[in-house]
Structures are given as C-alpha cells and as structure tokens.
Structure 1
Amino acid sequence: MGCRPRPAQGNRAGALNSGKDHKPATRLVEAGRRPEWTGPVVNPPVWRASTHLYADSADLARARPNDDGTFYYGRRGAPTQWALADALTALEPGAYGTLLYPSGVSAIAGALLGVLSAGDVLLVTDNAYEPSRSMARNLLAGCGIETRFFDPLDLAGFPDRFCERTRAVLLESPGSLTMEVCDVPALAAMARDRGAVSLLDNTWASPLGFAALAHGCDVTIMSLTKHVGGHSDLMMGSVSAGEGLYTRLRLKAQALGLVVSPDDAALALRGLRTMCVRLDRSTATALEVARWLEQQPQVAQVLCPMLPGAPGHDLWRRDFTGGCGLFSFVLEGRTPAHRARLVDALDLFGIGFSWGGFESLAIPFDPARVRSETAWPPAGWQAGDKLGVRLSIGLEDAGDLIADLAQALEAMDEA
C-alpha cells in the first residue's frame, strides 16, 4: 500500500507543492493534508472500507488498480492511508513514493524481498537490528538468498565483500544496541558503483535527522511504530524510494497482500504532526542524561553518537541534522546480577522493547551473541567484564530521570 505525490489543488495543497522550501516542522504540519482527502476538516477522516463501489459497469471498466491515490479495493488503501504515505514522501527528499507496511519488520522484509531473488547475495551490516539478522538467516535463506555480514566501519575492506551475485546492501546507522555511526554516503556509493541497491534502516534518525536518499541510499526504511506513532499504541513501517524502485517494491507489496489499518494510519498521522517537538525534547533530555552518565564511576562508556567524544560523533556531526532519545551505556566491571539489580531498581524507566514513545524504557543487552563476521566488540568495549544497558529517553523531566538512574546505580551495588 503506497502513495506518491499527485498534482495538488487549493491553498493548502499549494503549500505542499512548495514544501521543499519549508523547514521540517512546517512540512510536518502541512504534508498529506490534501483538500480532496480532508474535505472541510483539518485531518483526513478514517475511511474503514474493504469494498469500494463503482457508479456503473463503465466506471468499473475504467478502474485503475495501479494508479496511486485512486479507489479500487480496500487492500489498495483509501484517503487515510494515502495521506500518511503522501506525508512521509514529502518529508523524504528525493522520494517518489512511500509504501506502508503492518510493522517495521514487515517493511524491512518487504523491501528486501522486493529487490532480491533466488541466487542473489545480500550484504548486511553486522550491527543490524536483531530481527533483520534473523530474517536474513531464515526467511531470505529459505528463498535461496545468501546473506553475508560485514563490518560497517571497515570502509577499506568493504569492496572485497562484493561478488558477481551481490544485489543489495542493508545498512543501519547508528547501529542497533552499540550505536556505531558508519559512513553511509561512502558505503552507498560503493554499492551503487557495483550495481547493488543500498537500503537503510533509518528509524533512529528519521528523515528529520538524516535524509537517507539525499545521502545516496536507494531505499529508506522506518519503523513508524517508533517516532512517528510516538505514543506506543500502533505498529507500522514504511519504505520510501525513487520512481523505479518504488514501482518494483509496490508490486511486491501488492503480491504479498500487505495492508495497514486506516485507524492505525490516522494515529500515525496524528503522531507525525508533533514528531519534531517530541524529537527535539527527547534528544535534548538524552544528551543531558548521557552527559551525567559519562561522569558516573559505575559507567565505563556512554554509547551516544550525539555526545562529543563518543564513537561516531564526527560522522554524526557531518551527516546528521538531528538525533533521538535512544542510546546505550556500558557498566564498569559488573556482573549480570549487578545489571539486573540496576534495571529492576529503575522506577521511571519501564522494562521493554521498542522506543520512540513518550515513556522512557531500559533493557539490558549483550551484543556479542548477535555479531558474526566483524571484530566485535567495537573499540572501548571489553567483552566479558562489561555489560550494556540501552535507554530510550521519553518526555519526562531530565532531572527526574537522572535521579532515578542515580538511585538505581546505588541499588546495583547493594548486596
């Protein structure tokens, strides 16, 4: 299910047409609000319909099932879903269209299945999101697609990872859990020179913080469950691309029968309108918390690319225009039992997966079990005696979150 921009009409749509000149916060407010979809109200109504009716037989004969933004059947979407896809396209410089998927993992799977065939080789960054790794080893392997993992920080060795069957490269920056920032423009350029499609899981930064297609990627993927939804109450993913790949990916998504709920699309649209202010707030709070953690004796290292001096900070400053509230830290010389006491003692931080919601979360993690090819742990991480904790900073007061972490660090060492 997707939608690409169409010629717009009316004052509000005129603003959308000139949206390339508007700042991100303005585009977030205007995007996807076409008068033909909203009517006289601010937001597109929720169109719940499996069946779209035709005026007569002649109208049915004129049906255009593969025209974006036209009624055909519920699986092709209606104005609620079209408005969300249209808005996401408007936020992604260089995108021709955006497809919606029922979850972030579904978006990754749909994108990979759309560009790969049996016999192809896929290169996957070794610090990828764990479900992406599992997908490569199971779903894709069952389709006859071979996956090879690579060190995303080894630019010099990257060309040697390609073979005559390499058709795609899956990137993620910052990397999952350990937050390494790779040189996405350089890696994408090398992939393109070798005839491979580059795909980036851009959920961490979103197009507000990193314009993936403008930096050379061919396909950009987001879990809308995170920042776009923003309230921990929906599951959805998106894929944006240029015209050729968009058309190819759309046909695959249609063949798989993928569709998102109009109610969830409406929630995502609502979250999208406030995403900029929420990201600004969570990013500022995350930096404050990260700076405080950096000074604590129980903490060996803070893995936050937004933090000056942290691994990947120089590349983050060069390529990114924003961040988010997700980062990790490493405990100094503690055991798993210590870490469990720390996490269990937290009061304002919930224990749970996902991130990007209004509430703060914490999970323990050990990256060694989800690495394969590269020289992990990365520099500064001593395997065996240092353990990781990932934080997702929400919209709470920074001082309250720091106080909660302070008492939990004290509780960690209590026998």
Structure 2
Amino acid sequence: MRKPITDLIHHPYSPPARFAAPQPGIYKASTVFFADVAAMRARDWKTKAGYTYGLHGTPTTFTLEERLATLEGGSECLLVPSGLASIALVSFAFLKTGDEVLIPDNAYGPNKALATGELANFGITHRLYDALDPADLAAKLSERTKLVWVEAPGSVTMEFPDLPALVALCRARGVVSALDNTWGAGLAFAPFDLDGTGQGVDISVQALTKYPSGGGDVLMGSVLTRDERLHRALKLTHMRMGFGIGVGDVETVLRSLPSIALRYAAHDRSARELARWLQGRAEIAQVLHPALEGSPGHVNWLRLCGSRDLAAGLFSVVFDASYASEQVDRFCDSLSLFRLGYSWGGPISLVVPYDIGLMRDASVAAWPHKGTLVRFSIGLEDVDDLRADLEQALEAL
C-alpha cells in the first residue's frame, strides 16, 4: 500500500474540462509530461502543435503570442524577458562576424549600446544614419549590411521618419528591416502594411513593459514577423539563448491587453492637450510631438498615422537656452504628480531631463537646439491636475 505522500503527489483527480471565464487559464510549467516515449520523440518544440518544455511555450504563453500577432498584424510571435532582449534576439539571430547593422541616430539608447558593446566584441560593426533622411540610409547600405533598425518616432527627440521609404530601401537591397514599435504598440499604424499594399517591415519588436502591460510593473518584450523563414531563425536563436519569461507576468499582460486601445487613446488625448499648452509658454523653445505641426517628421506621421489619428502619450520639450540645466533640473524636482523615472505607458506621469549632447552623434544629424530637453510620459491622471502641476513647477524656474 502506497504512503499518503505518494498518493498526494500522484493524485488521479483531474477537474472537468471546458471551464470558461473572461481570463484564460494560467499554466506554470518547466517540465511537460508526455503520454509515452513515441509522443516524446515525435513532439517538435519549434511549432505550436504541442508542448515539450516550459521554455518553449505553454498554453498561456501561446495565447499571449497569438493575441499580440493579431494586434500588430503579424503571424508569428516570440516572447522575451524585456524590450531590450527583443532587440538583442533580432541582432543575434541575423548578424555574424563581418556583418554590419545600421541604426537610426535617434534610436533607443541601449540598442546603440548593444552595438558598441557585445556586437562589436563579436566583430560586428555598426553605423548610424539620419532617421529623417532616406538618402543617408541609401548611401550607407552596403554588401556587409545585414540588418537595418528603424524606430518611429525617436524615443527621446521624437522625430518621425518616413518609414515606408526607409523600409523600401531595405527591401530593394534584400536587407532585413526591424522596427522598434513600442511607441506605435500596434495601434498607431500597421507595421506590416505601411502603404496599404501589404508592404511593411520584416520584423516588429515591442517592449510589452509599456502599453501592453500598462501598469509599470512588468518587464517583457515581443518579436513578430510574417516571414516563416525569419521566424525559424529567430526561434532557433531564442532557444539557444534560453529566453524564458515568468507566467505570472504573462497573466498580467493578458489581463491588461483588452484595455490597451482605451488606455492608449486616453494617454494620447492628455499628451496632446498638454503639449499644445506648453507650446504657448515662453519658457519652452519647442515642443517635440509627432502629431503637432512643426515637429520634426510631422508630415511623415500625418501620412502614416493620420487616418487613425493616434500618437501615444509621449512628448519632449526643449527649454529656452536662457535656462541653465540646473534650473531645468529644479523644474523637474518641483513637480509633484510627475515622478522622475524611466519608461512610459503606465498610469503615473513621468519626467526625465536629458543631455542631448551625450546621446546624439552630431556628425550624423546635428541637433538644432541649445536648450535642455525634458521628456514627458503622460499617465492617466486628470489632465487639469497635470497642467496645474506643470504650471507651478515652471514658476520654480
């Protein structure tokens, strides 16, 4: 007769099937059981036809991948531990010693840091190009170029590029194009159909940390494509790098995803209202927001996103050059509702001052402003309260 502990571990009870509820079931697993040896040997971890090991997917992670693919218009999706990990996965999947990657000069800083660090250590070179000048990209494409990153807009300086033109150049040269689509989130525009003819980027990555999560409490990234060949290369690298994510975080994103469109639109409305208000302030030399006329690349935003009229909740301002950086720091410190913190897309508004001189390569595209730049991520607070907070902090200048 078996002991109770054995019966406890090998208990025969299984709950009845066909349980339905608003949220999908949560499956936590490293080990996955097989019915017999034949089933174990027949199972292929590279497809969603079955399960082999928790690292290669569970019903919970497959569900989130499929929903994200629907959101962005892709067919294949992989989950990784962070937005930066999604960039790393793409770079490691398609670059080898002797290759070159081209990166926008206004791209997410850690993407450039990866290129100057690990990629350089592996004998992979990189060059920066002017995101607003397709001719600059065309001139820098070479036989060594195997990957081109595009980003819309630049994550700090907010220039919006001519994405269809940049991607068309890559397509004509047979170079893989990868988009950091964290700002667009699959809502502002369709990354795999930029021109209405089904032509778009080869790969779209997102930091699910931002809008898909929406709570400022999850680190996760995604990598999507419509190309089965590219997906297979990504999947193999994903396996070899051992990228895994916590199922509790997957559950959080699954719960937040149904409200992403409502939250995105709310962030957008408040951001535009505050950006327009700041345009009228004497302390501000320029407001950088793709949806506002006069912002770099506004025409490109209008062409790509105008029909949906969405622009996220992110914008930057350049203070008048008469204000020293110490004064701008005091402005940021004087805010009470805006918290000092990186990231965006959560319920709490954030503010970060930046030294553009440390971020931009003037030899690519000279930064036209002398004043200090401050980036705002607008949360879900009442917009009148946020305006009042900005107004009292401006007095501290």
Does the aligned pair in 2 maintain the 1:69–1:79 contact within 8 Å?
A: no
Task: Determine whether 1:45 maps to 2:33.
Answer: no
Output the TM-score relative to the length of structure 2: 0.91
1:371 corresponds in structure 2 to 360
**Runs of 5+ consecutive residues of structure 1 not aligned to the other structure:** 1-36
Output the TM-score relative to the length of structure 1: 0.87
2:72 corresponds in structure 1 to 92
The aligned amino acid for 1:382 is H
2:10 corresponds in structure 1 to none
Q: How far 1:331 sits from its partner (Å)?
A: 0.5
Q: How far 1:67 sits from its partner (Å)?
A: 1.8
> Which 4+ residue blocks in structure 1 deviate beyond 4 angstroms?
none
Q: 1:119 is paired with a residue of what secondary structure?
A: coil
**Runs of 5+ consecutive residues of structure 2 not aligned to the other structure:** 1-16, 195-199
1:147-162 aligned at under 5 Å gives the runs 147-162=126-141
Residue among 93, 100, 104 paired with 2:83: 104
The aligned amino acid for 1:316 is W
Distance 1:356 1:38, change over 3 A: farther
Distance 1:389 1:344 in 2: 12
1:14-413 aligned at under 5 Å gives the runs 39-93=19-73, 95-215=74-194, 216-242=200-226, 243-320=228-305, 321=308, 322-332=310-320, 333-372=322-361, 373-377=363-367, 381-383=368-370, 386-412=371-397
Q: How far 1:39 sits from its partner (Å)?
A: 4.2
Q: How far 1:38 sits from its partner (Å)?
A: 8.2
Deviations 1:300-329 (A, max 9, x none): 000001123322221111102322111100
Does the aligned pair in 2 maintain the 1:127–1:176 contact within 8 Å?
A: yes
Distance 2:18 2:215 in 1: 23
Q: 1:258 is paired with a residue of what secondary structure?
A: coil
Q: 1:136 is paired with a residue of what secondary structure?
A: helix
Distance 1:80 1:316 in 2: 35
Percent identical pairs in the alignment equals: 40
The aligned amino acid for 2:130 is D
Q: How far 1:376 sits from its partner (Å)?
A: 2.1
Does the aligned pair in 2 maintain the 1:362–1:392 contact within 8 Å?
A: yes
Deviations 1:96-147 (A, max 9, x none): 2011000000000001111111111100000011101100100111121110
Q: How far 1:156 sits from its partner (Å)?
A: 2.3
The aligned amino acid for 1:240 is L
Look at both structures and tell me which one has the larger radius of gyration over its CA atoms.
2
Distance 1:403 1:98 in 2: 42
Worse-superposed segment, 211-220 or 53-62: 53-62
1:34 corresponds in structure 2 to none
Deviations 1:378-413 (A, max 9, x none): xxx323xx001000000001110000000000012x
The aligned amino acid for 1:79 is P
Worse-superposed segment, 213-222 or 294-303: 213-222
Worse-superposed segment, 320-329 or 389-398: 320-329
Distance 1:101 1:69, change over 3 A: farther
Q: How far 1:46 sits from its partner (Å)?
A: 1.6
Distance 1:296 1:97 in 2: 46
